[in-house]
């Protein structure tokens, strides 16, 4: 939860020397707070003194905090010690490996740049292909409406002819048009059905 920095009380701490917090400040301003500080229910600082001081010096008014509901001084001291003891520093070789990997990502080699460009190209191609496929399925679904339209045309032609409103030639034309529309509608419906199954 976010709490006001001005509400946090700092009691006597085991760690007297905060050390250089400039790198921590730089990290906070660039990436934000990755690990919240810990306070008790009275907003007394339990863990995260360096993070709090770095946030203060950056002018933050609030900070993300975990509130532990304990008034037990022994437990609070154990939490403070545990947080600092369990923090394992990187070895020199781990730091070198990490920075080398970071440098490779920031400044990729020619072949890595080429691979990234190819990857981007194929992603775009497949995205376009997928979009075309969706558009085709949508079009087939829309065109399958010809099936009921053709059926209605045949029925309407039969009714109008039986009532004497149209001639036999017009009735035949409506029947043929209706049949063609039904066949086309059935064709598009089958394509639509196959398209949504894929």
Which pLDDT tens digit goes with each residue over 7-37? 998 876 655 667 788 888 898 898 899 889 8
Q: Is the pLDDT of residue 183 over 70?
A: yes
Residue 163: predicted pLDDT: 92
Residue extents of the structural domains in the chain: 2-88, 92-120, 127-197
Question: Of 84 and 119, which is predicted with more confidence?
Answer: 119
Spatial distance between the Cα atoms of 184 and 168, rounded to a whole number of angstroms? 24
178 has pLDDT over 90: yes
CATH fold for domain 2-88: 3.90.1530
How much is the pLDDT for 131? Answer: 77
86: its two tokens = 């369990």
Q: Which of residues 72 and 127 earns the better pLDDT score?
A: 127
Is this model's pTM higher than 0.85 or not? no
Q: What average pLDDT does this structure show over 78-97?
A: 67
Is residue 90 within 8 Å of residue 67, measured between CB atoms? no
Q: What is the pLDDT of residue 128?
A: 78
Residues shown for the chain: 198
């Amino acid at each position: 939860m976010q709490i006001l920095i001005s509400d946090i009380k700092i009691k006597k701490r085991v760690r007297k020397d905060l050390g250089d917090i400039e790198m921590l400040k730089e990290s906070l301003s660039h990436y934000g707070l990755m690990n919240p500080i810990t306070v008790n229910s009275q907003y007394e600082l339990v863990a995260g003194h360096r993070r709090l001081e770095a946030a203060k010096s950056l002018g933050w008014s609030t900070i993300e905090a975990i509130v532990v509901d304990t008034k037990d001084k022994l437990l609070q001291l154990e939490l403070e010690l545990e947080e600092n003891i369990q923090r394992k520093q990187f070895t020199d070789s781990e730091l070198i490996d990490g920075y080398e990997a970071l440098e490779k990502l920031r400044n990729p080699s020619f072949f890595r740049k080429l691979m990234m460009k190819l990857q981007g190209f194929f992603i775009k191609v497949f995205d376009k292909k997928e979009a075309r496929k969706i558009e085709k399925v949508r079009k087939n679904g829309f065109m399958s409406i010809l099936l009921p339209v053709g059926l209605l045309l045949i029925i309407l032609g039969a009714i109008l002819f039986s009532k004497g409103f149209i001639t036999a030639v017009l009735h035949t034309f409506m029947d043929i048009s209706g049949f063609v529309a039904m066949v086309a509608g059935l064709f598009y419906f089958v394509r639509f059905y196959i398209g949504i199954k894929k």
